[in-house]
Amino acid sequence: MTIPEEFKYTKEHEWLCSEQDHFVVGITAHAQEQLGDVVFVELPEVGSRVKQGESFGSVESVKAVNDLYAPVSGEVIEINEQLADNAALVNEDPYGKGWLIKVKRTDDHNEDGNLLSAADYKKLLDG
């Protein structure tokens, strides 16, 4: 199971990647595998606010719908428009073309303790 070293993770299987002045958010390879074929992703509007630990959208596979939880608080500055036509990108490339949203963070310090390192996330999966 791929778990990029440089990313941060949530217990709900989202990943977070720092990129210039913002963060990119997606779901992990483990999450997409558990979901199965992803056919629809509901994402927030650009400009809306997300709060760490709260739902910002949903991802639907053929069988089930799951909430997406924000790894950090901030403003949504971009959403992955390609998912509207091809939600399967989440399955095919969860850490790349299957990213979900980009967030400009509003809290720089207090939330870090709630995020997992790659090693901790691996421990969670190995459970």
Partner 1 sequence: MDNSSDLHTPLYDLLREYGGRFVNFAGWQMPVQFTGIIAEHQAVRNAVGIFDVSHMGELLVEGPDAFKALDFVVTNSIGRMQDGKALYTLMCLPTGGIVDDIIIYREAADRYFICANASRKDVDFAHLRQATAKFRCKIFDCSNEYAQLALQGPKAAALLTKLSKLDVKSLSNFTFCDATVANIDSVRVARTGYTGEDGFELYCAPKDAVELFSAILKVGADYGLMLCGLGARDTLRLEMKYSLYGNDIDTECNPIEAGLEWAVKLNKGDFIGREALIVETQEKPKRKLIGFKMVGRGIPRHGYDINFNGEKVGVVTSGTHSPTLNVPIGIGYVPTSVAAIGTNIDIIIRDREVSAVIVETPFYQRAKHDYS
Residues that bind partner 1 (CB under 8 A): 36-37, 39-40, 42, 58, 60-63, 65, 84
What is d(CA 97, CA 113) in angstroms, rounded to the nearest whole number?
A: 28
Q: Which is nearer to partner 1, 65 or 119 (CB)?
A: 65
What is d(CA 51, CA 117) in angstroms, rounded to the nearest whole number?
A: 20
Q: Which is nearer to partner 1, 51 or 105 (CB)?
A: 51
Q: Which is nearer to partner 1, 24 or 38 (CB)?
A: 38
Residue 46 CB, nearest approach to partner 1 (Å): 17
Residue 36 CB, nearest approach to partner 1 (Å): 6
Q: Are the C-beta atoms of 86 and 51 separated by less than 8 Å?
A: no
Residue 65 CB, nearest approach to partner 1 (Å): 7
Q: Which is nearer to partner 1, 46 or 119 (CB)?
A: 46
CA 22 to each of CA 85, 86, 106, 118: distance values in angstroms, whole numbers, following the listed order:
25, 24, 10, 19
Q: Following DSSP, what letter does each residue of 78-113 receive, concatenated?
A: EE-THHHH-TTHHHH-TTTTT--EEEEES-SSTTGG
Residue 60 CB, nearest approach to partner 1 (Å): 5
